[in-house]
Structure 1
Amino acid sequence: MFMRTLLTGRRRLAAAGRERLSAATYVELVQSLFEHTVPALIMTLCFVCTGAYLVLRSNDAILLLLYGIGLMGSSARLLALFGLRRRVFEAGLGVHVARSIERRFGYGYIVFAAALGAFCAWAYATVSIEQHLLIVALIFGYAAGVAATVPLRLWISVTSSLLAVVPTVLVALMTPGVAHWGTGLLSALFLVGGIQSMIKRYRGAAAQISMRHLMETLARQDDLTGLPNRLVLRERFDQIVGRSDSRDLIALHCIDINQLEPVNETYGHMAGDALLKAVAQRLRRVVRGDNLVIHLNGDDFVVIQPNMSDGREAEHLAQQIVSTLDKSYAVAGEDIIITTNIGYAVDLQESADLERLLASAERALRQGKRGATGISAYDASLAPLSLHA
């Protein structure tokens, strides 16, 4: 029964380790490692006090050596916990940085677990039987702390639990006496149950976090084109302006697709939707780097072009967009050719206002459509209207 339970736990752990996580979910799981600091401080205090008591009572050189290694491991764990805590909660934390932080945290955590396991096992074999209660309490307290603070990164929590508990379990099972065998067996069963509980908690938390991030993504994404929507436009614009350099310029392009209504009337709305998806795909290819393309509604798109040193960069991007979009599309078995109008506005980035810039770009777009020009511009920083055919 015990071996079957252990094998079941191993299979579940392996399956959980193969599950793929989104970047946002993974980053949040790594951040969970740093949410609780008090249990680590309590465990360090308990190890320092209990370990010192056992070393003094046993007067064993090996136990003293293991105690010293445990103190160094505990110090490394606390340094990683407090030294990386501010960094892991910084905005915009990427996957690669999160993975590096997780490894540094995890290695320190595991080193202490191995030192604790070796110390408790040797102490169990050398100290008097009345002191065994302290050892069992220490490793059970540690295992409970692992389950409470780091269960969402299984390679850390499961490895640490095994390294801390299994050595003492083996020593207890090899020590003659029913009490020792019972201690070893019960500890092993509790360990297996704890591992299964951590796997279940990890799966539930990962699924919940993934679902929350998915809902947040859907709320910021256009259903038809998959592009970011108006909500992202506001968020991204505020982020750009908030960290801008005084010399930078920003441009906002309003893009209007012609011939969409005739396509809907002639071939149906499904064909019109397919056309908009194709337009969105082409915009993704031409709008790169810091630039961001937004689908506002219908046949209207917006492109944010930040961090420019010269306003002519906006005209260059507008020309690229027009040349990319004004080509044939294979829709409903037909080659459909569309035309594009773009109105864009340029302003100083640090003082730019989204509503003002958007209104200026729309004004330029209307002016360009009345004049039958493909591209028109409005310099919001200087106020005059200038048209470019």
Structure 2
Amino acid sequence: MPLSSTEPLNDRVYVELVRSLYANITPAVIMMFAFMLAFGIIWLESPEFDPLLIALGVASMLASLTRVLVTAAFRSMALTAALNRPQARRLELVFAFPYLGFAALLGLYGAYVFWMPLTEAHTLIIALLVGYCAGVATGTGLRPNIAVPSMCLAIGPTILISAIRADPIHIGLAVITLAFLFGGSQTVLMRHDTMRAEIAKRLASVSLARRDTLTALPNRLALQEYYEENAATISPNGLIAVHYLDLDGFKPVNDTYGHGVGDALLTSVASRLRGAIRSGDIVARLGGDEFAVIQFGLQRADEADLLARRIGATIAQPFEIGDHNVSISTCIGTVVSTDRSQRLDLLLQEADEKLYARKRARNGTAALRDFA
């Protein structure tokens, strides 16, 4: 189904918030191994064989493994595909079920261990629960409907057991932990509101004054100014990626349907590009059917490839322009740099050269296929 160039801003913001759930799988992997370690230690320190302890521990490990596997399986789609709101909603649910399932099992396991007379194990469980809640707040904080219930499910049962024990130490522990849970939940909600506003601001392109008159994207001068102002501050220790792209099949659209349809197509492309980039990155129209995207603060070079694939998938979706259903594609040249003092025009030139090298390679492959 074609993506509409008039897709509501709230829907595009929602898609970006869902993408954030899949951005970093490392905390889930760390939590899985941390739980396995804690479970192994508590099992060995347990004075007698406890089938319920083992059952809860094994179930929690399986849920944690499922959470990691599901995130890994759908991560590429979440970060690169052109998504509408229903598709993003399905991805959110796919992420949420194993996530909340592990939180519930972790909470039951922690409460059961707290009920056992193993004081050293209580310390281990508290460390595990605090680490888990910190990971939830940072990893899923942009979706509070997942983050807050997960924290409550994980740490709530232990708070309850501590209160039931009714001795001063455990009552103090329950009160302090409950206060931290409340404060953490408030922080998650405030962070969500702040980031939602920032993403909406970026998607609407209201942060830059110099715009292309047709697409309302930043122009080449605005791109240069934004790069100079933000390269060092946003990417003090990270990589910078510059993408140079043009549209394959745009000229035939102009020739067949006229410049009015061509202009409307460029405006629709610009809207999709705005929705494809992250908060803090920038997309600009350089002229004609040529655009540039700059990513700041990358940790790995393959993050640039993920965005290039996402842009390609986004542009490949058919466009509805008036009564016409138009299909085009894009070719992208990408340069990743660690030098924040390098001139933008040189990076754009290098990315442009890679773009045309890809075009030549693509045309050569097509010629060989036709010859065969």
| TM-score interval for Structure 1 and Structure 2 normalised by the shorter chain | 0.5 to 0.7
Higher relative contact order (CA 8 A, sep 6+): 2
The residue number in structure 1 matching 2:92 is 102
Alignment of 1:217-366 (within 5 A): 238-239=246-247, 241=249, 251-254=256-259, 290-292=319-321, 306=326
- Of 42, 65, 78, the residue aligned with 1:75 is 65
The residue number in structure 2 matching 1:45 is 33
Q: Give CA deviations for 1:5-31 in whole Å, capped at 9, x if unaligned.
A: xxxxxxxxxxxxxxx971211111111
In structure 2, C-alpha distance between the alignment counterparts of 1:125 and 1:30, rounded to whole Å: 37
* Amino acid of the structure 1 residue aligned with 2:52: I
Distance 1:304 1:169, change over 3 A: same
In structure 2, C-alpha distance between the alignment counterparts of 1:166 and 1:40, rounded to whole Å: 20
SS state of the match for residue 258, structure 2?
strand
CA displacement at 1:211 relative to structure 2: 0.8
* Amino acid of the structure 1 residue aligned with 2:120: E
SS state of the match for residue 54, structure 2?
helix
What's the C-alpha RMSD, in Å, of the aligned pairs?
Answer: 3.6
For the pair 1:147 / 2:155, whether they are aligned, the reply is no
Q: Give CA deviations for 1:23-70 in whole Å, capped at 9, x if unaligned.
A: 211111111111222211111111001012112322311111100110
* Amino acid of the structure 2 residue aligned with 1:60: D
For the pair 1:212 / 2:202, whether they are aligned, the reply is yes
- Report the TM-score when normalising by structure 1: 0.55
For the 8 Å contact 1:292–1:304, the answer to whether it is kept is yes
For the pair 1:122 / 2:151, whether they are aligned, the reply is no
- Of 15, 19, 22, the residue aligned with 1:34 is 22
* Amino acid of the structure 2 residue aligned with 1:173: A
SS state of the match for residue 82, structure 2?
coil
For the 8 Å contact 1:117–1:165, the answer to whether it is kept is yes
Distance 1:216 1:253, change over 3 A: farther
In structure 1, C-alpha distance between the alignment counterparts of 2:325 and 2:258, rounded to whole Å: 8
For the pair 1:57 / 2:53, whether they are aligned, the reply is no
CA displacement at 1:230 relative to structure 2: 9.3
- Of 151, 163, 167, the residue aligned with 2:153 is 163
SS state of the match for residue 215, structure 1?
coil
SS state of the match for residue 256, structure 2?
strand
CA displacement at 1:197 relative to structure 2: 0.5
SS state of the match for residue 93, structure 1?
coil
- Report the TM-score when normalising by structure 2: 0.57
Q: Give CA deviations for 1:338-364 in whole Å, capped at 9, x if unaligned.
A: xxxxxxxxxxxx99xxxxxxxxxxxxx
- Structure 2, gaps ≥5 residues long: 1-7, 220-244, 262-317, 329-358, 361-372
In structure 1, C-alpha distance between the alignment counterparts of 2:217 and 2:32, rounded to whole Å: 50
- Structure 1, gaps ≥5 residues long: 1-19, 257-288, 294-302, 309-349, 352-389
* Amino acid of the structure 2 residue aligned with 1:63: L
In structure 1, C-alpha distance between the alignment counterparts of 2:325 and 2:94, rounded to whole Å: 38
Distance 1:125 1:292, change over 3 A: same
In structure 2, C-alpha distance between the alignment counterparts of 1:164 and 1:44, rounded to whole Å: 14
For the pair 1:25 / 2:30, whether they are aligned, the reply is no
For the 8 Å contact 2:159–2:178, the answer to whether it is kept is yes
The residue number in structure 2 matching 1:93 is 83
Which protein is bigger by CA-based radius of gyration?
1
Distance 1:174 1:21, change over 3 A: farther
Q: Give CA deviations for 1:323-379 in whole Å, capped at 9, x if unaligned.
A: xxxxxxxxxxxxxxxxxxxxxxxxxxx99xxxxxxxxxxxxxxxxxxxxxxxxxxxx
For the 8 Å contact 1:73–1:112, the answer to whether it is kept is yes
Distance 1:215 1:248, change over 3 A: closer
In structure 2, C-alpha distance between the alignment counterparts of 1:35 and 1:154, rounded to whole Å: 16
For the 8 Å contact 1:249–1:307, the answer to whether it is kept is no
CA displacement at 1:111 relative to structure 2: 0.3
* Amino acid of the structure 1 residue aligned with 2:258: H
Distance 1:21 1:145, change over 3 A: farther
CA displacement at 1:292 relative to structure 2: 2.9
